[in-house]
A and B are shown apart, each in its own frame.
Chain A
């Protein structure tokens, strides 16, 4: 494990260089660089509207970029052919802000959807793995036959995480995983992400607003502002930073409350 982390420094799992994204005349990301190391949980923060979700969506290829390069698992996504790209997509999982579960499929079918597409496994094994994934994200097997509209907000997030994990990815993108959860539920979710990272050896890219998540779940924090990464490092580095937004964020009333 220690060796893997060592490797990770030279070969980041995500390598973003000089990314520029523009919507009309507004430049959202402006020459942004970012590395995500293998096996870490990276917390990604920044003011609302700074472009955190835009960067996530750019990396996974949902938003076109004007300039720059993105490498995931050492594959340049612009230079890759279809099969290379599919290979990369098979190795990452994405948890969208609203869950994005397929509303006309049951929980079981949602989790099995990527398996059917990418793997050739028996129905029995798929059913068993589905139950295993649901147990891992802290849900009872009984929810497997419910539809997304019959789930609570927290359950939707958990099922969406189970679906993101269904192919045992090496990398997961979590877009505000704890938003809309009660503090206890959010705490459980952070704990869950930590556990999964340990058991499955995941790399986690987490966009969040939740200070608790930053303190309890993340190994490293990157801060987005003015279309660039304004700071990256441990929570202690963030607290020591003199940047006005960071000072406000990490020394505000709420931050003091979290630190106790």
Chain B
């Protein structure tokens, strides 16, 4: 029944007859396309062309369209084209294909220098929009917070506790493990280099100041941005995609109050706790390495630590935590609510959430460093 498709030419004076045989289906599309193109060239000179399709064994949309394409291009070249011998089964398919309006495809994918410059320009202009979006969200969250203060009953305690469990309690093991290891590494490096000057004991000063002021909170903030910021963006983004946020709005709920505020609050509470735990784990790890590797016994370590650091160092570190949490939360929620309908958009915004979150955390850390230096802390 099936066989390789053919398009045979039989010349009859001025007229040309083309006889199609075999299987005209998608699997043979490359062959068919070449044959049709040849036939177009060949038939160009003649006055009328007769296409006989009675011998076609099998026809699908691809085959029917190619016959139609041949007919169209011949008609355009002022050649009279006729299709004959269609079986009843296939004539409706050919009729269907005949209704198709051929529209040229406009290829917009071409890469040009102006196009690239335009993209760079748009990205730079977009920075302003990003900052405005963050300020907008900060305002909306503060307004929602104020409303909740006035009407405490509208506060979503269950939701806040749930998010607190997700971002704080469940983050404890990984945060403690990583900060412990970082504490170990700092102490080991410190001892290794300080030993050359016979200043082993100063590793305790370095560890204490570094961990309490900077590393503890910064490292934990970066981990939280990667862990919880991305989760917030993905949650809000998929809710946005499935119109759940629109549904909330139509029921008279404010998505900021219902979704964003509990998440923000959970994060602002969680980060100081995690930063404290992280700092303790790092000091413990550092102390352990100082003892086992550097021979500084725990009693000497603690004594030195008490001299080296004051409560100021601890305050400087812990004060930064809620601010960084707020920055991470706002970036994550803005990105989540900016997700459009596609899976690709969700991925882009989740990436952007983490990248921007970490960037702003480091910028904030720099701002704090300048501030504390100028007030002498």
Main secondary structure of the interface of B (DSSP, over half): helix
Shortest beta-carbon distance, B92 to chain A, in Å? Answer: 4
Which residues in B have their C-beta under 8 angstroms from that of A103?
A: 241, 341-344
Is B30 located at the chain interface by the 8 A CB criterion? yes
Interface segment out of the listed A116-124, A183-191, A233-241: A116-124
Which residues in A have their C-beta under 8 angstroms from that of B29?
A: 119-121, 125
A120-B30, A122-B33, A125-B33 as given contacts; A149 in contact with B342, CB under 8 Å: yes
Nearest B residue to A198 by beta-carbon distance? Answer: B92
Interface segment out of the listed B5-13, B99-107, B197-205: B99-107
Interface segment out of the listed B57-65, B287-295, B319-327, B364-372: B57-65
Contact of A168 with B60 in the complex, beta carbons under 8 Å: yes
Interchain CA distance A131-B69 in the complex, whole Å:
13
Which residues in B have their C-beta under 8 angstroms from that of A198?
A: 92
Which residues in A have their C-beta under 8 angstroms from that of B340?
A: 149
Shortest beta-carbon distance, B56 to chain A, in Å? Answer: 14
Nearest B residue to A127 by beta-carbon distance? Answer: B105
Contact with B along A13-42 (1 / 0, CB 8 A): 000000000000000000000000000000
Which residues in B have their C-beta under 8 angstroms from that of A131?
A: 100-103
Which residues in A have their C-beta under 8 angstroms from that of B105?
A: 127
Which residues in A have their C-beta under 8 angstroms from that of B66?
A: 125
Is A158 located at the chain interface by the 8 A CB criterion? no
Which residues in A have their C-beta under 8 angstroms from that of B26?
A: 115, 119, 121, 167-168
Interchain CA distance A102-B27 in the complex, whole Å:
25
Interface residues of A in 122-149 (CB under 8 A from B): 122, 125, 127-129, 131-133, 135-136, 141, 147-149
Shortest beta-carbon distance, A132 to chain B, in Å? Answer: 5
Is A1 located at the chain interface by the 8 A CB criterion? yes
Which residues in A have their C-beta under 8 angstroms from that of B93?
A: 199-200
Nearest A residue to B95 by beta-carbon distance? Answer: A199
A120-B30, A131-B101, A132-B100 as given contacts; A148 in contact with B342, CB under 8 Å: yes
Which residues in A have their C-beta under 8 angstroms from that of B254?
A: none
Nearest B residue to A141 by beta-carbon distance? Answer: B103
Contact of B342 with A104 in the complex, beta carbons under 8 Å: yes
Is B25 located at the chain interface by the 8 A CB criterion? yes
A120-B29, A120-B30, A132-B97 as given contacts; A125 in contact with B62, CB under 8 Å: yes
Contact of B65 with A128 in the complex, beta carbons under 8 Å: yes
Is B89 located at the chain interface by the 8 A CB criterion? yes
Is B96 located at the chain interface by the 8 A CB criterion? yes
Interface residues of B in 231-246 (CB under 8 A from A): 241
Shortest beta-carbon distance, B147 to chain A, in Å? Answer: 32
Contact partner of B65 among A119, A120, A129, A147, CB < 8 A? Answer: A129
Is A89 located at the chain interface by the 8 A CB criterion? no
Which residues in B have their C-beta under 8 angstroms from that of A133?
A: 61
Nearest B residue to A140 by beta-carbon distance? Answer: B101
Contact of A135 with B30 in the complex, beta carbons under 8 Å: no
Shortest beta-carbon distance, B15 to chain A, in Å? Answer: 28
Nearest A residue to B62 by beta-carbon distance? Answer: A129
Contact of A121 with B33 in the complex, beta carbons under 8 Å: yes
Which residues in A have their C-beta under 8 angstroms from that of B241?
A: 103, 149
Nearest A residue to B96 by beta-carbon distance? Answer: A199
Interface residues of B in 332-374 (CB under 8 A from A): 340-345
Interchain CA distance A239-B31 in the complex, whole Å:
51
Interchain CA distance A1-B89 in the complex, whole Å:
8
Interface residues of B in 74-109 (CB under 8 A from A): 89, 92-93, 96-97, 99-103, 105
Nearest A residue to B99 by beta-carbon distance? Answer: A135
Shortest beta-carbon distance, B259 to chain A, in Å? Answer: 21
Interchain CA distance A47-B65 in the complex, whole Å:
42
Contact of A135 with B65 in the complex, beta carbons under 8 Å: no
Interface residues of B in 28-83 (CB under 8 A from A): 29-30, 33, 60-62, 65-66, 69
Which residues in A have their C-beta under 8 angstroms from that of B92?
A: 195, 198-199
Return 22 A-B CB contacts under 8 Å, by A number.
Answer: A1-B89, A102-B343, A104-B344, A121-B29, A121-B62, A122-B33, A125-B65, A125-B66, A128-B65, A128-B69, A128-B100, A131-B100, A131-B101, A131-B102, A132-B61, A135-B99, A141-B103, A147-B342, A165-B61, A168-B61, A168-B62, A195-B96
Which 3 A-B pairs give the minimum distances between C-beta atoms? A149-B341, A104-B344, A103-B342
